[in-house]
Amino acid sequence: MSLFSQDSDASFFDFLLRQRPDLAPGGLGPIRGSWGMAQEERGGASVLPVPIGTTVLALKYEGGVVIAGDRRATEGYQIADRRIEKVFTIDDHSAMAIAGAAGPCLEMAKLFQTELEHYEKLEGVQLSCEGKANKLGQMVKANLPMVFQGLVVVPIYVGYDLRRTEGRIFKYDITGGRYEESDYYAIGSGGKEARSTMREHFRKHLSEADALRIALSALFNASEEDVGTGGPDLIRGIYPTAKVVGAAGIKDVDEPRIADLYKALIAERKKET
């Protein structure tokens, strides 16, 4: 008998890989074969017709981090969904936003939520902010086989580090590489545009309201330049979503507040033109 056996591990993700690989991301189960076959049948086309999620960003303010994302999912040149959610509450002090293939993205968010809750229940304490960020990196790495099938999942993770008493932003690459950002970051097809807006307006020690305004205008600019990113939809009343992570925990920014901010932003731009 080995001491400290694998079974005493507090990770739900590892448990799933061992016990139910068919449910784990990364196509370690029978899914892998069927996808591979489907691809060959289509003559080796590398892009699958799956909904793709688009601009998400995170921005630090004085007491934490604002994380926001647009609502559009596209499938080729079609809009697959107008009100998809790309920003997820993970636990009391962290959130993640994802760009990539919608299905695997949603799966990873759900698995990461379960992972952190599982650890907390088994060990009696929460993982550190650093620990959570590293674990997410391993999950992204496990998805690597699916990347070659065109199913990319790239997250941004934000958390409030209770030990350091500051908000933190982590970005990832497809191999699970984890990089910490000091001020702001955006990913997705409109990420570049959003980053340039934030570069222009970002200052250290922003207030929460200013950070939110910059985040929303960055998403607005991204939607103007990128077909894959949805702007505020005034007809249907669909607006990007945002969450604020601070020392007191995570809270959603109410839709009416976002709608008002967008109305003000649009009025301002009308004046300028």
Partner 1 sequence: MPLPYYVSPEQVMQDKAEYAKKGIAKGRSIVAMEYEHGILLVADNPSASLFKISEVYDSIAFSGAGKYSEFENLRKAGIRHADLKGYTYSREDVTARSLANAYSQSLGTIFSQELKPLEVEILVAQVGEGTQANEMYRISFDGSIIDERRFAVIGGRSEAVQIFLKDRVSEPVLTLKQAFALCVQSLDSVTNQKLQPEGLEVAILDRTRPGRKFRRLLPPESSQLLG
- With tokens 């992204």, the residue in question is 140
Question: Does the annotation mark 54 as catalytic?
Answer: yes
Give the shortest CB-15-to-partner 1 separation in angstroms: 6
| Contacts with 262 (C-beta within 8 Å, 6 or more apart), sequence order | 216, 220, 232, 239
Distance CA 158, CA 129 (A): 9
Per CB under 8 A, residues contacting partner 1 are 8, 12, 15-16, 19-20, 23, 110-111, 114, 117-118, 121-122, 124
Give the shortest CB-90-to-partner 1 separation in angstroms: 13
Q: Which is nearer to partner 1, 89 or 217 (CB)?
A: 89
How many Cα neighbours within 13 Å face the side chain of 1?
A: 3
Q: Which is nearer to partner 1, 153 or 194 (CB)?
A: 153
Q: Which is nearer to partner 1, 10 or 259 (CB)?
A: 10
Distance CA 157, CA 138 (A): 13
Q: Are strands 153-161 and 73-75 parallel, antiparallel or unpaired?
A: unpaired
Give the shortest CB-112-to-partner 1 separation in angstroms: 11
Q: Which is nearer to partner 1, 127 or 218 (CB)?
A: 127
What is 232-246 written as a DSSP string?
A: -BTTTTB--EEEEEE
Give the shortest CB-168-to-partner 1 separation in angstroms: 24
Distance CA 208, CA 167 (A): 12
- Whole-Å CA distances, 176 to 131, 134, 173, 186, 189: 14, 9, 6, 17, 19
Q: Which is nearer to partner 1, 99 or 111 (CB)?
A: 111
Q: Which entry of 54, 89, 229, 241 is annotated as an active-site residue?
A: 54
Give the shortest CB-117-to-partner 1 separation in angstroms: 7
Active-site positions read 54
